[in-house]
Structure 1
Amino acid sequence: MLPTQIPAAVRSRLRGLRLTTRRDAGGAGLGQHASRSRGAGLEFAQYRAYEPGDDLRRIDWKLYARSDRHFVREAERDSPLELWILIDATASMRQADLARPDYAKFDAARLLAACAIEIALRQGDGFGIATFGGSPPCLLAPGAGARQRDRCLIELARVQAAGQWPAAGPAREAAARIASHALVLLLSDFFDAAALELARRLAAAGREVLTLQILAADERDFPFRGGRRFL
């Protein structure tokens, strides 16, 4: 099974999950997330005076009959979410459990990324990915639809965890591409302080950041006795 292939049992559980944001989505287009944008939509927001160029279909003619003035109905417009998935692909993510040596933390990160992409696809949201460390590097700007999903999964399947967290340049480049209204999901073991620093920098810049620490069972439980040397 490919590391980005979602097992049937997991896929069935995704149907009850949604990606949401604490803030207004603010993206262009129509979606399932609350937005401060006004325009054509389903949820009434306010009336405003008609202006030349407004769509005549949005004029409230019943209100015109009572007031002899033209008013346009404005609605809350639901917007699509823009999801950025940032994945730690450094050498420490190659660690696997002793009980399952063929399944590394990086495999778990790629599967989690595939699940988030599947939910975003179902909601009509945009999604992009970036890896830090690893080979080859991967950076795909957000897009929507099944073809974007396939591109993301193909690129993620090619990446192998290796090396260290990159210098400030690549991280700064990826951060600069993330729109202010985007939702960021950062998947890492956070053994490198630079990963946590990236999350802090994005949050300080106004992005909504979700972090998920991925650990092997041995790292979590530390079931070791006696003297050990870790390289």
Structure 2
Amino acid sequence: MSSRLIIALDFASAELALNFTQQLAPQDAKLKVGFELFVAAGPDFVRKLVDQGFEVFLDLKFHDIPNTVAAACQSAAKLGVWMLNVHALGGDKMMLAARESIAGLVKPPKLIAVTVLTSMDQAQLAKLNISQAPFEQVSHLAALTQACGLDGVVCSAQEAQQLKQQCGGEFLLVTPGIRPLGSQSDDQTRILTPLAARQLGVDYVVVGRPITQSKTPLAVIKAINQDLAE
């Protein structure tokens, strides 16, 4: 069975990231490449990971006019990535354009949308003049995402159970802010353990520093995979 763990490669260079990934096998976990690493290492680094057999989640959260996002999704898909994402706040026209841009590919990547960042809480939403509670905003954006035909959303594990009921079992939930027991919360505010996240219906969990900064990353990966398989 394919791992439900996605490791966030939050490294400043391709060299540092490859020093870490060389100890991994593709069946251990999927890999997430975000802004910092993509800007530093570029698309060739992503191709290298794909060529090594890793399933790559390209986490660039595209948010622009529909034509620009559609073209960006096409370019990302050509890298052979397993998953990519857009911002749901870009609206339905943008998300529809993104979906249509990759729909004709032989093996299109999964396309998901970001709802409310897991680093944001009620007070921060209020500063953006969003009066809804975090879950209400997430629920609204998830419904819009599903109506546009995307595969799922990024959400907090605390919203997973209700989103599964709202959107159904086939709608993917990808959750950052996951911390194994004993880990620091870092800059995340809405967090849960891998086991708790899986029990709430999360399909894929994203874990970064508790693995990449661990002295025994393979042991942490093994423990998380065991939790997610229960």
Taking structure 2 as the reference length, what is the TM-score of the superposition? Answer: 0.28
Q: Flag the structure with higher helix content.
A: 2
> Higher strand share goes to which structure?
1
TM-score (norm 1): 0.28
